[in-house]
Each structure stands twice: as structure tokens, then as C-alpha cells.
Amino acid sequence: MSTLKTAVALELGNILAFTATLVVNGLASAAVIGGKTTAEISDQYPTLITPAGYVFSIWGIIYTLLAVFVVYQALPRQREKAFQTQISGLFILSSLFNIAWIFLWQYGYIALSVAPIVGLWATLAAIYLRLRIGKSDAPLKEKLCIHLPFSVYLAWITVATAADIAAAASYAGWIQWTSADAAWGIVAVAVLVAISLGVVLTRSDFAFGLVVIWALVGVAVKQSSEPNIVYMVEIGVAIVVAALAVVAILLMRKTRKQPQVAASEGFSGYTNMCLYTYFPRGKAWLNHKLTSNRPRHLKSGSPSAQP
């Protein structure tokens, strides 16, 4: 198969996979599959890390971002981009895992549903690593249309995987005792905070951290009658917020090493931070702009510029 045909096949595969996931999710939300909504089934197996109902509205954001990805990757100019071959197969596989999880969950196979959601998490983690999110010098459009969707998606599925495992344990009768449920809730929150901390500090991924904070706050709201869980969540949220603040400060200090660029072009410190840290091409553009705007006698290499 030619390179062009392969690229087109991957594009169509991504479109079909996303469409199928969207349709199946819509049917599940409308109680067409299994006769109950996903939320109703979740309420049958309560755990201490189940977040408040409003938190699940993030699926609307996730599917919107994935729609942006699907449209962007289908543009003719993107057919020869490296990300097509890097992640398309994994995205299609992740969609199949998502669909499998929905059917198992909707028909009451709660314990079995752990397998596909773990598979979903693994494929999204592989996509995240292959895209080198937080470390790549990809252009701005690619970061917004490709990296951001999968950053948010992975963060939420990380939370959802912990919740699904807890629901499966509740279904099996393993955490029917309050002490066991509380212990799992505390461990789950600690693991989520640890993962988020690692991602934020090593990848400067603000989106990932914010999604985890969103979920943890929802857990505290839902479990407001459980002081141990609420206390643990408060500590976890404080840690993640502190990590985000530290990363932001470090990035801003880094950009202050190029004060002449920001001053000469009139950019704010935050904008300059983003350009220098996340978008190396923006950095090159700014440097070129600065050099081209200098008076001729001040340009490097000019006889009058020599001491």
C-alpha cells in the first residue's frame, strides 16, 4: 500500500473509530444499551472515590477535543505528519476499548469492565508518550489540536480507572466494610496525586493537573460526609496546585533570561514564557524579528558594532 493510501486509511479509521465511540456513548447515556444510564449503574455500586455527578460533564469537553483532533488529522496537509503513523492505530484501539467498556458496564459485567478500561488507559498512555507531550517542539496548532485532547483524555481516564476498580471491588463485595472502602479511597487519591505530580513536574502539563484537580474536588463534594476522604483530597489538591505553581514560576524565570525579546516586541511575560517554553518556533521567530528590527550599526557583525 502506498504512503498516501496508508495515510488516507488511517484518517478514515480515526474518523470511524471516533464516530462509533460517540454513537455508543450517546446510546448508553440515553439508556438504550442495558436499559439504564451509565450514571444509574454507577449509583448501584457507590464508593468513596466516586465524584459528584457534575464532574462527568468533562466528557463533553473530551469528545469536543477529540472531534478537533479527528478534523485536524483529516486535513490534507496533515497526511504526511509523523503523528499519523505514531498514534492512529493506538487511537483506533483505544476507541475499541472504550466501546467494550461501555457494553460491559451497561450490561452489568462490572468486574469484567476493569480489563477494557485498563486497556484504554494503557493505549492513551502510549499515545501520550509517543507524542512526547510536554517535551515536543511541535507547532502550536499541533499542540492544541493533537496534544491537548490526549492530555485531557488520559488524565480523566486515569481517574476513571481508579473509580472503576473501586466499583468492581464493591460489586464483588470486597469493600463493603467502611474501613476497607475508606482505605481504598485514600490509596486511590494518593496514587492519583502521585501520578499527577509526576506528570506536572516532568512534562509541565497543566491540563493534566487541572483535570485531576477537577475530579478530586468532585470527590470531596460527593463524599462530604467522609472527613478522612475529604481531608486526603484537600491535601492532594494542595499538592497538585503547588506543583503547578512551582512549574509556572520556573517557566517564568526561564523566560526572564531573554528580557530584550519581550521588551522589544511588547509581549507580556506570560506570553513570552509560552512562546519560549512550549513553542520553539515562536522563539526563533521572535529572535529573527528582534535581529531584523535592530539598527544596522547594532547588528552582529557590523563594523560599527565592534568595540
d(CA 16, CA 37): 24
Confidence at residue 126, expressed as pLDDT on a 0 to 100 scale: 96
Tell me: do 134 and 191 sit in the same domain: yes
C-alpha cell recorded at residue 199: 506528570
Domain identity same for 226 and 284: no
The number of angstroms, rounded, from the C-alpha of 211 to the middle of its chain's C-alpha atoms is: 7
300 within domain boundaries: no
262 has pLDDT over 80: no
Same domain, 143 and 165: yes
282/139 Cα distance (integer angstroms): 9
The pLDDT of 246-266, averaged and rounded, is: 67
pLDDT band at 98 (very low <50, low <70, confident <90, very high): very high
Residue 304 in any domain: the answer is no
How long a stretch of residues is the chain?
A: 307
Residue environment code for 228-257, b if the CB has 16+ CB neighbours within 10 A, otherwise e: ebbebbeebbebbeebbeebeeebeeebee
In three-state secondary structure terms, 174 is coil
Residue 268's pLDDT is 44
Scanning the chain, the segments in alpha helix (DSSP H) are 3-29, 38-44, 58-73, 82-106, 114-131, 140-142, 148-172, 178-203, 206-222, 227-255, 259-265, 269-278, 280-293
Q: How far apart are CA 94 and CA 99, in angstroms?
A: 9
Average pLDDT, the chain: 82
Between 32-46, 51-65, 66-80, 172-186, the lowest mean confidence (pLDDT) is in 172-186
Q: Which is more confident, 222 or 286?
A: 222
Whether the predicted pLDDT of 307 surpasses 60: no
What is the rounded average pLDDT of the residues 116-141? 92
- Average pLDDT on 88-99 reads 96
Q: How far apart are CA 301 and CA 303, in angstroms?
A: 6
- Reported as a pLDDT band with limits 50, 70 and 90, residue 286 is low
Q: Are residues 163 and 266 in the same domain?
A: no
pLDDT in tens, 162-205: 989 888 887 776 655 555 567 778 888 999 999 999 999 999 89
- Determine the average pLDDT of the residues in 153-158: 96
- Asked if the structure places residue 112 within a domain, the reply is yes
CB 91 within 8 A of CB 10: no
Residue 295 pLDDT class (50, 70, 90 cuts): low
Nearest to 220 by CA among 72, 55, 108: 55
Please give the distance of CA 244 from its chain centroid, rounded to a whole number. Answer: 15
Q: Are residues 225 and 139 in the same domain?
A: yes
pLDDT, residue 145, reads 92
One domain for residues 275 and 195: no
Does the pTM surpass 0.85? The reply is no
Residues 89 and 219 in one domain: yes
Rounded Cα distance, 41 and 107, in Å:
9
Q: How far apart are CA 213 and CA 234, in angstroms?
A: 10
User: Same domain, yes or no, for 134 and 229?
Assistant: yes
- Residues of the domain holding 279: 256-293
Number of domains in the chain: 2
User: Are 219 and 268 in a shared domain?
Assistant: no
Residues 6+ apart with CB under 8 A from 101: 113, 116, 117, 120, 164
Same domain, 133 and 266: no
Grid coordinates of 48: 468513596
Query: Of the ranges 12-26, 51-65, 213-227, 243-257, which one carries the lowest mean pLDDT score?
Result: 243-257
Q: Tell me the pLDDT band of 282, cut-offs 50, 70 and 90.
A: low
Band (283; pLDDT cuts 50, 70, 90): low
Per cent of the chain over pLDDT 90 is 47
Q: Are residues 38 and 173 in the same domain?
A: yes
- Report d(CA 102, CA 100) in Å as an integer: 5
Query: What is the rounded CA–CA span in Å between residue 274 and residue 45?
Result: 43
pLDDT (0 to 100) of residue 289:
52
Residue 301 counted as domain residue: no
280 within domain boundaries:
yes
Structural domain contains residue 306: no
**Does residue 11 sit within a domain?**
yes
The CA-based dihedral angle spanning residues 128, 133, 135, 136, taken in that order and rounded to the nearest 10 degrees: 110
Domain identity same for 41 and 133: yes
Instruction: List the Cα angle 157/72/202 in 5-degree steps.
Output: 45
- Does 243 map to a domain? yes
Q: What is the pLDDT of residue 220?
A: 93
Q: What percent of the chain has pLDDT over 70?
A: 79
Cα–Cα distance, 220 to 237 (Å, whole number): 10
